[in-house]
A = this chain, B = another copy of it.
Amino acid sequence: MPTARPTIADVAQRAGVSKGLVSFALNDRPGVSPQTRERILEAARELGWQPNLRARALSVDRAFALGLVIMRDPEIITGDPFYPSFIAGVERELASAGQALVLSVVPDEAAELAAYRKLVTDRRVDGVFVTDLRHDDARIALAAELGVPAVTLGHPEAPSPFPAVSMDDRAGIAAAVDHLAGLGHRRIAHVAGPDRMLHGSRRRRAFEEAMAAAGLPAGMVVETEFRAVDGARATRDLLARPDRPTAIVYANDPMAIAGLGIAQRAGLRVPHDLSITGFDGSDVGEHLFPSLSTVATDAVSWGAVAARVLLRSIAGEEPGDTDLPPARFVPRESTAPVTEPTDRTVP
């Protein structure tokens, strides 16, 4: 049990004023004479008074907190660096603004919607982040129905009443394809994220467009989940094809790292026999041999900006959409010129 903490009433008594005046003084509102204000502040200091956010929350009908709901299978951690970085960026803004982050991790879509709803009806948060957008994303309508401010990462497909903070990932994919094309690759494949996810299908489309723009034949595309295990399977399938690709563009780093493992396991030398690119710039990819060429996204900034935008929405402003600097391709060792075309198939 914490010992009973002083309340505003104790401060008022000590300063010899009313509770109301204490509140005014503490919140720097006009209408308090300098001397009285000083006396009140002094009393609060002496008593070690700390505002009780719960009481404040009830009075002003604000939670002073933001909600983030993450959907993922708890048993399968892909080592995806996005959320840790994103959250770190969010926190950087929140701490100084006196806000907190309420985090929900849920296993599936039904639980996800329920989590958003509960966060809001419980009055736990004043606004929510909507990440990992999907086609026909039910969360937009839900947030609108609940009347809660929200910010989306990227633009949803349907019209949305919420500001979007976007980072163009297509430029990064295009740069990867161009880089590979420049190295002489023609049979380039893409291991894509699930089509139901906007960034899955958007990166895929970017890949297809970049291939066309480079004058290359339509590349092979394997759609799968964003997990390492799926990247491995997709790679195995691609390498088993008679027209096996000489380069593979992966939609994220865990898939690419697993793909690298599969290729090496099959006896291919990366990058000489097969070039590989990832996406999202995981820390570990930099230390592999060969180090992973990837598309770097600044998830920390994304989190910080999204938090700022959400806070402004909550404050009643209408922030409008924000475009972050596009993701950029970071060539490392896993991409190289095609050596002589080989017809060797993989067992």
A27 at the interface (CB under 8 A from B): no
Residues in B neighbouring A75, C-beta threshold 8 A: 300
Q: How far is the CA of A84 from the CA of B148 in the complex (A)?
A: 27
Taking a contact as CB atoms closer than 8 A, the residue among B77, B106, B287, B288 that contacts A81 in the complex is B77
Q: How far is the CA of A121 from the CA of B6 in the complex (A)?
A: 12
Known: A282-B79, A283-B79. A52 touches B102 (CB 8 A): no
A254 at the interface (CB under 8 A from B): yes
B100 touching A232, Cβ below 8 Å: no
Known: A100-B124, A124-B100. A54 touches B50 (CB 8 A): no
Taking a contact as CB atoms closer than 8 A, the residue among B74, B122, B148 that contacts A88 in the complex is B74
Taking a contact as CB atoms closer than 8 A, the residue among B54, B61, B119, B287 that contacts A257 in the complex is B287
A147 at the interface (CB under 8 A from B): yes
Q: How far is the CA of A1 from the CA of B79 in the complex (A)?
A: 38
Residue positions of A touching B, CB distance < 8 A: 1-3, 50-55, 57-58, 61, 63, 65, 72, 74-79, 81, 83-85, 87-89, 91-92, 95, 100-106, 111, 115, 119-124, 146-148, 227-229, 231-232, 254, 257-258, 260-262, 264-265, 282-284, 286-289, 291, 300
Taking a contact as CB atoms closer than 8 A, the residue among B3, B54, B148 that contacts A63 in the complex is B54
B91 touching A100, Cβ below 8 Å: no
Residues in B neighbouring A91, C-beta threshold 8 A: 74, 103-106
Between-chain CB contacts (< 8 Å), 9 pairs: A53-B122, A53-B124, A54-B58, A54-B123, A78-B283, A101-B102, A103-B103, A229-B287, A262-B287
Residues in B neighbouring A55, C-beta threshold 8 A: 58
Known: A147-B2, A257-B288. A227 touches B283 (CB 8 A): yes
Taking a contact as CB atoms closer than 8 A, the residue among B85, B257, B262 that contacts A74 in the complex is B85
Q: How far is the CA of A221 from the CA of B68 in the complex (A)?
A: 41
Known: A84-B84, A88-B74, A105-B87. A284 touches B100 (CB 8 A): no
A2 touching B88, Cβ below 8 Å: no
Known: A65-B102, A102-B100, A102-B102. A283 touches B124 (CB 8 A): no
